[in-house]
């Protein structure tokens, strides 16, 4: 059996979620190095309740082999970064994906024995320079394989709210459904999540997107509960003051994750002969760069 100290992790994407997950790996006793174009170490401070709680220094590994990969990049950055990393990936590399959206690995020629796990989290954090402010440590559903690999056994004890799911697809689609409603609308209407609950045109738009999801998903996912309006309204309420990640990217002029959220949904639906006009509408509007 592997002990944590002999299982070397590499982190790709030292943003909010990547930093929080790296800290949990370190607490579980794993060595963690970063993969980054710059050579100098990555320094981060984790802050909870505005109190600096923990400092992390991740050395950058410029050329070593990669056996355990924590993938926490944004959707659009994923393929170019992984393509560049392919020569370093072990044939049986284990990739733990902690990302918004779906389909980021679909066009990457991963090694034949690659194993993929997905982590779907409701944790929340935001970053200000090198400080990651952790605002919520809720739950993370992890899975996509029949059982937890031996090498990961120390991890659940150090990851608050960890829940193992051999079948991770329902959790992935639940998260994608919420993101496919809240994220484009907050970017389009330039508002905070809670402002979608206006009892007017924004909430009607929300219900329209949610209704298309509930009509389409049962065509390829069994037991979809068909409650997307309620799910999205609840999350908008719980995160009322937040700026969604897509609104933040849009305002900053960065490429958004829409192609891996609404785009992925529209492509799945069209493979089943289903058109999603409201999703296509937001996709077209937000695929153009804002600046």
Smaller CB separation from ligand PAF, 26 or 188 = 188
Is residue 179 near ligand PAF by the rule CB under 6 A? yes
**C-beta of 40: minimal distance to ligand PAF in Å?**
30
Smaller CB separation from ligand PAF, 2 or 243 = 243
Half-sphere exposure of 100 (CA within 13 A, CB side): 25
Is residue 209 near ligand PAF by the rule CB under 6 A? no
Three-state SS at 82:
helix
Stretch that binds ligand PAF, among 56-64, 102-110, 174-182, 213-221 (CB under 6 A): 174-182
Per-residue binding string, ligand PAF, 100-139, x by CB under 6 A, is x---------------------------------------
Active site residue 175: yes
Is residue 235 near ligand PAF by the rule CB under 6 A? yes
**C-beta of 179: minimal distance to ligand PAF in Å?**
5
**C-beta of 26: minimal distance to ligand PAF in Å?**
25
**C-beta of 29: minimal distance to ligand PAF in Å?**
30
CA distance 69 to 28: 15
Single residue of 19, 121, 203, 239 touching ligand PAF by CB under 6 A: 239
Is residue 99 near ligand PAF by the rule CB under 6 A? no
Locus of tokens 């170490």: 41
Three-state SS at 174:
helix
**C-beta of 172: minimal distance to ligand PAF in Å?**
13
Stretch that binds ligand PAF, among 43-51, 78-86, 175-183, 222-230 (CB under 6 A): 175-183
Contacts 24+ apart (CB under 8 A), 53-60: 54/23, 56/19, 56/22, 56/23, 56/26, 58/11, 58/14, 58/22, 58/32, 58/33, 58/34, 59/33, 59/34, 60/33, 60/34, 60/35, 60/36
Three-state SS at 170:
helix
The DSSP string of 93-136 is: EEEEE--SSS-TTTT----TT-EEEEEEE--EEEEETTEEEEEE
Locus of tokens 């296509």: 280
Q: How far lies 111's CA from each of 85, 88, 92, 116, in Å? A: 11, 10, 7, 11
CA distance 162 to 159: 6
Is residue 187 near ligand PAF by the rule CB under 6 A? no
Task: Say if residues 61 and 10 touch (Cβ distance below 8 Å).
Answer: yes
Is residue 245 near ligand PAF by the rule CB under 6 A? yes
**C-beta of 129: minimal distance to ligand PAF in Å?**
20
Residue in 74, 175, 208, 285 annotated catalytic: 175
Binding site for ligand PAF (CB under 6 A): 100, 178-179, 182-183, 193, 235, 239, 242, 244-245
């Amino acid at each position: 059996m592997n002990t944590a100290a002999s299982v070397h992790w590499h982190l790709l994407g030292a943003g909010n979620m990547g930093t929080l997950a790296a800290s949990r790996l370190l607490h579980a006793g794993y060595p963690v190095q970063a993969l980054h174009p710059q050579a100098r170490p990555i320094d981060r401070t984790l802050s909870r309740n505005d109190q600096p709680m923990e400092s992390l220094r991740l050395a950058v590994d410029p050329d070593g082999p990669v056996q355990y990969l924590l993938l926490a990049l944004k959707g659009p950055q994923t393929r170019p970064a992984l393509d560049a990393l392919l020569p370093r990936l072990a044939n049986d590399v284990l990739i733990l994906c902690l990302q918004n959206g779906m389909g980021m690995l679909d066009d990457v020629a991963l090694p034949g024995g690659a194993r993929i796990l997905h982590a779907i989290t409701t944790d929340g954090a935001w970053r200000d320079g090198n400080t990651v402010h952790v605002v919520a440590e809720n739950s993370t559903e992890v899975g996509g394989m029949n059982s937890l690999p031996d090498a990961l056994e120390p991890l659940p004890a150090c990851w608050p709210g960890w829940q193992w799911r051999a079948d991770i697809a329902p959790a992935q689609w639940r998260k994608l459904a919420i993101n496919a409603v809240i994220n484009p609308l907050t970017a389009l209407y330039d508002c905070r999540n809670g402002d979608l609950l206006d009892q007017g045109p924004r909430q009607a738009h929300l219900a329209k997107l949610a209704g298309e999801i509930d009509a389409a998903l049962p065509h390829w996912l069994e037991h979809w509960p068909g409650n997307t309006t309620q799910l999205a309204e609840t999350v908008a309420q719980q995160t009322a003051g937040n700026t969604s990640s897509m609104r933040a990217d849009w305002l900053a002029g960065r490429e958004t994750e829409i192609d891996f959220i609404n785009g992925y949904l529209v492509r799945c639906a069209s493979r089943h002969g289903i058109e999603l006009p409201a999703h296509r509408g937001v996709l077209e509007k937000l695929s153009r760069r804002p600046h």
